[in-house]
Amino acid sequence: MHFSDLLSNNLQTNSDLLNFIGILCTAILTFYIFKKETSISFTKERYEKLIFPLFNLLEPVLYQQVQPEYFEKALQIIDRNKSLADGKLLELFYYCSQNPTQQNFNQLCSYVDKLYDKACRKLGLKIRSFSYRIARHQYKHWSYFLFYVLASTFLWAIALVFSLFVFLCLVACLYLIYENANDTNKLIMSLLFSVFALAFLKYMEKHI
């Protein structure tokens, strides 16, 4: 086989590989966007009708001495929006209805507290700072809160290092493929990179 034939076959292989990668990336990105939009739509409805009203009611008295009027109103909010409540919240609703004790109230506060932060993250809203939570005593016990802060910081550091490692590996692989591609495929890869870079910047805008 002549050198020109080998070169032609090599270029064709690279072209097919890049086309496959492009199609795969497009399919994954489309699926991710569709799934994310559907999930965000449900989370937004749940946030507006259930999570925020609950948190807004309970925030002034989170983990404090149980007050019957707050307890009753919280249970009414859950009862009106049972279709949006998950199994854990329904379980807490049952126990709090049957036995409105301080312990059950604290468990409800703890779950609503976490539920609110989780929804905020998903919707791209800023969560409460640690200093704000400390100032308003929004923690079940100081030891739990300290553990939460340390664990969150540690997990965030691990996630950052791992993400950086994966990113560098991905960049190295893409660079090797890019260097061996022809001009047309380089243009396609540049366009794909621009799309992903734009998506990444949008993500960072919401979470920083």
Gyration radius of the chain over CA positions: 25
Distances (CA, A) of 113 to 44, 68, 88: 17, 19, 13
pLDDT at 61: 92
Q: What is the dihedral of CA 130, 149, 109, 111, to 10 degrees?
A: 130
CB atoms within 10 A of CB 186: 15
With beta carbons less than 8 A apart as the criterion, state whether 112 and 54 touch.
Answer: yes
Q: What is the mean pLDDT of each run of 10 residues along the chain (208 residues)?
A: 49 56 64 61 93 95 90 95 94 94 93 94 87 79 64 75 79 74 71 71 57
Residue 7: the pLDDT is 42
